[in-house]
Amino acid sequence: MLLLDDLRAKQRLYSQYGDTCSLLKAIMADGTSANVLYRLQAALARWRLAPLALIPHWLNKSLNGCVIGVKAQFGPGFVLIHPVGVVINSSVRGGRNVWLESSVVIGDNRGGCPTLGDDVFIGSGAKVIGALHIGHGARVGANAVLLRDVPDGATAVGIPARVR
């Protein structure tokens, strides 16, 4: 189940810091309710109940300040560390273990949306815009404005983002 994979990924985040109650903390932490509502909305959309998917979509926007398009797809281990200000277009596709900080925008630029590989981290305030690909294990720094592809294992920082 994708939601359990998301919680396990968040538990791994907290256990890195030696937290002995990491599963409980993962359940109670910022972003968990946003993850739950996103997974519910995605399931409803998959089951061809798209009008009902708008209910968790609206709740996520209202309660968490997080807008994730109804048709956006992320693999298991998707983590919203802090969901406030996160905006994700419906056409975005993400792999396994995608971690997002607050105020991340992932969207369209007149020609397509980004795709994200596995094990991707996007820092607070980053903007990922257009038909580009972020490779496996890539990192996007805080407040970066990403307009081009990021290869596997690379880091992109700055405005506009430069790959290192």
The C-alpha atoms of residue 46 and residue 124 are separated, in whole angstroms, by 29
Element of type H or E holding 41: helix 32-46
pTM of the model: 0.90
DSSP β-bridge partners for residue 133: 115
38-47 mean pLDDT:
92
**CATH number assigned to the domain covering 2-163:** 2.160.10.10
* pLDDT given for residue 10 in this prediction: 80
* pLDDT given for residue 29 in this prediction: 75
2-30 mean pLDDT:
73
pLDDT tens per residue, range 74-111: 999 999 999 999 999 999 999 999 999 999 999 987 77
CA proximity to 34, closest of 60, 7, 67: 60
DSSP β-bridge partners for residue 80: 100
* pLDDT given for residue 20 in this prediction: 62
| CA distances for 74 relative to 52, 56, 142, 143, angstroms | 20, 16, 21, 22
Higher pLDDT, 99 or 13: 99
- 64 close to 37: Cβ distance less than 8 angstroms: yes
From the DSSP assignment, how many helices (H) and strands (E) are in the chain? 4, 15
pLDDT tens per residue, range 108-162: 877 789 999 999 999 999 999 999 999 999 999 999 999 999 999 999 999 999 9
Q: Where are the domains of the chain?
A: 2-163
Classify 19 as helix, strand or coil.
Answer: coil
How many residues are recorded in the chain? 164
Element of type H or E holding 105: strand 105-107
pLDDT of 18 over the 70 cut: no
